[in-house]
Amino acid sequence: MNEKYEVARLDELDRSGSWTRVRGHFGIEAFGVNAWTAGASGDQVISDHNEERSGHEELYVVLNGRAIFTVDGRDVDAPAGALVFVNEPQTQRKAIATEAGTSVLAVGAKPGEAYQPLGWEWSSDAFQYFESGEPERAYELLAAADTAHPDSPSVLYNLACAEALTGRSEEAVDHLRRAGQLYEPFAEIARDDSDFDSIRDHPGYAGA
């Protein structure tokens, strides 16, 4: 890396599923920026979400392919080169690829505040250790993430997974309950998540 700049192609960066780690690769601290790539036409390339918790404004750049964005219930056709800016954090948005290989770059930050990486990035970094059967390493990452990003629903949910897999039953129940309070769908998702099999008979699990 040149001490003043770095050049890289998107397909050279570390990728996990559909997500390419742009911010992490360059060590960007001023704003969030990552990319998502659809494997096939019809795949969701930007998840159905809003940024109410983060307060972020977001700019989406269609790098290649084509996508249909749905923003506040309205469909927007976005071919390669299109820019879609969502300035109100509470606005719901998503994007579906209409061509295989469609890539969308997302850039976001909260106006007037120093940028802080969001908790979901920490969760995603831990997934490799769940997949490799190393839940203790996943736990270490997620415990640090919870300290840095308290009350992040995705961090709490995945931390609870790691705790259940490593015998930390009390902590797992508490963190799963809190994740469900912050993001209600997690309570339903947990019912089919085998990571929690070890705590289903725990007295506190029913309320998690």
| Structural domain boundaries, residue 65 | 10-109
Query: pLDDT tens digit string along 23-79?
Result: 989 989 899 999 999 999 999 999 999 998 889 999 999 999 999 999 999 999 999
User: In the predicted model, is pLDDT for residue 208 greater than 70?
Assistant: no
Please state, in angstroms and rounded to a whole number, the distance separating the CA atoms of residues 129 and 147. Answer: 19
What's the pLDDT at 1?
Answer: 59
Determine, yes or no, domain membership for 28. yes
Please choose, from the candidates 175, 120, 165, the residue with its C-alpha nearest in 3D space to the C-alpha of residue 139: 165
Determine, yes or no, domain membership for 76. yes
What's the pLDDT at 126?
Answer: 87
Measure the CA dihedral 109/104/90/54, to 10°: -30
Please identify, among 76, 109, 142, the residue that sits at the C-terminal boundary of a domain: 109
What's the pLDDT at 206?
Answer: 64
CATH code (residue 165): 1.25.40.10
For 83, phi then psi, to 5°, come to -115, 125
Radius of gyration of the chain (CA): 18
Please identify, among 52, 79, 109, the residue that sits at the C-terminal boundary of a domain: 109
Domain count, the chain: 2
Question: To 5 degrees, how large is the angle CA 23–CA 29–CA 31?
Answer: 70
